[in-house]
């Protein structure tokens, strides 16, 4: 493999000059520039990124931590991040964790070892203390509301969004409202739970533990929800479902069983995925792609941290 020295020799200049030409620095005479370019061609020279990285102390690589790469929510978020990365000449290192702490840890270690310049955490199980421990090694940005001021974030106010969804149902006459999430212990779920309890208290509606459905992520999980519902003596009249995928599954299953939506069961989804539009599901739109772009931007700015709250918008369709 030919290196910068070979090129310099062939072009009869110093390596410095070659470097200048390659990096389009000024102050190089036209003839030398051409000589260099010519030598580059002749030797089939290609710069070695590792050497550049070492010398510059920068890799132009951003790590992206996410639990699953095969779910539309993260897929769309990732798309936003990827598009922004492309635009800024960065590449992404994918760290799929399946929500395992040790895999998340690996991402932090990459940052520590300078293999990546920054880290985007789309969803996590690690504690805040762990994150704080690693902020000194580079920008860490989160897709959730930050607790400390040390990290940047682009987040949704899940409390507010959930409250809004509840209110919408209530305003439309629904009193017994349940909800459906993926991870009870997830950060967002906790915010939603608070909103739920506060809402019930405000409206003086009694709490029923059975109205909370935990562990539903995909389209096909919708059926399980409906099965649960059918076995209840007093099922909720409406359901907030924190993923359009699951919402779509529920609606489909209802159709199949002859249940009427929203008459028998009202549904509000989350995300506004294409499938929600297609199936006419009322949903809380989350601008995932834009969130991804902003996350990326935050990840490449070392200087200052920032927090950005993203607005969620109710999209009314036919399931409420």
Partner DNA sequence: CTGAAAGCGCTAACAA
Partner DNA sequence: TTGTTAGCGCTTTCAG
Interface with a second copy, residue 308, by CB under 8 A? no
- Residue 204 makes contact with DNA by CB under 7 A: no
Binding residue count for DNA, defined by CB under 7 A? 29
Q: x/- site string to DNA, residues 57 to 86, per CB under 7 A?
A: x-----------------------------
Cα dist. 77→95, 131, 296 in Å?
14, 21, 10
- The C-alpha torsion from 221 through 222 and 228 to 230, rounded to 10°, is -150
Give the chain's end-to-end CA distance (angstroms, integer). 65
Which stretches within the chain are classed as H helix? 4-11, 15-22, 30-43, 49-56, 72-87, 101-112, 128-134, 158-171, 187-203, 221-231, 244-257, 274-278, 288-299
Q: Which of 55, 89, 185, 260 binds DNA (CB under 7 A)?
A: 55
Residue 194 binding partner per list DNA, a second copy, none, with a CB distance cut-off of 5 to 8 Å that depends on partner kind: none
Q: What share of the chain is helix, strand, coil (3-state, %, to 5)?
A: 50, 15, 35
Asked whether 241 and 250 are in contact (CB, 8 A), the reply is yes
Q: Does 116 bind DNA (CB under 7 A)?
A: no
Binding of DNA by 111 (CB under 7 A):
no
Cα gap 79→65, rounded to integer Å: 13
Stretch that binds DNA, among 54-62, 70-78, 188-196, 224-232 (CB under 7 A): 54-62
Query: Nearest approach, Cβ of 196 to a second copy (angstroms)?
Result: 28
Member of 9, 37, 52, 193 binding DNA (CB under 7 A): 52
Q: Does 78 bind a second copy (CB under 8 A)?
A: yes
* Residue 82 found at the interface with a second copy (CB under 8 A): yes
Chain contacts with DNA (rule: CB under 7 A):
1, 3-5, 12-17, 19-20, 22-23, 26-29, 31-32, 45, 47-48, 51-52, 54-57
């Amino acid at each position: 493999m030919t290196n910068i020295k070979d090129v310099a020799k062939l072009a009869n200049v110093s390596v410095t000059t070659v470097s200048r030409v390659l990096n389009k620095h000024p102050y190089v005479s036209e003839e030398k520039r051409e000589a260099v370019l010519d030598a580059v061609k002749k030797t089939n020279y290609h710069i070695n990124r590792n050497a550049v990285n070492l010398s510059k102390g920068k890799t132009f690589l951003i790590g992206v931590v996410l639990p699953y790469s095969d779910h539309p929510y993260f897929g769309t978020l990732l798309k936003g991040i990827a598009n922004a990365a492309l635009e800024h000449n960065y590449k992404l290192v994918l760290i799929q964790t399946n929500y395992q702490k040790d895999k998340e840890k690996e991402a932090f270690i990459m940052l520590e070892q300078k293999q990546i310049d920054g880290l985007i955490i789309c969803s996590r199980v690690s504690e805040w203390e762990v994150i704080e421990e690693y902020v000194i090694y580079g920008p860490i940005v989160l897709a959730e509301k930050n607790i400390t001021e040390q990290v940047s974030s682009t987040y949704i106010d899940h409390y507010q969004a959930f409250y809004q969804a509840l209110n919408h149902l209530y305003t439309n006459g629904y009193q017994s409202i349940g909800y459906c999430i993926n991870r009870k212990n997830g950060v967002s779920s906790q915010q939603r739970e608070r909103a739920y309890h506060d809402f019930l208290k405000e409206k003086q509606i009694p709490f029923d533990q059975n109205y909370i459905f935990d562990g539903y992520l995909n389209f096909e999980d919708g059926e399980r929800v409906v099965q649960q519902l059918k076995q209840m003596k007093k099922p909720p009249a409406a359901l907030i479902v924190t993923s359009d995928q699951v919402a779509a599954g529920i609606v489909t299953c209802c159709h199949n069983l002859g249940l009427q939506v929203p008459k028998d069961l009202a549904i509000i989804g989350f995300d506004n995925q294409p499938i929600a539009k297609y199936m006419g599901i009322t949903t809380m739109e989350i601008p995932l792609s834009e969130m991804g772009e902003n996350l990326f931007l935050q990840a490449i700015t070392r200087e200052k941290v920032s927090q950005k709250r993203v607005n969620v918008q109710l999209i009314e369709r036919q399931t409420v």
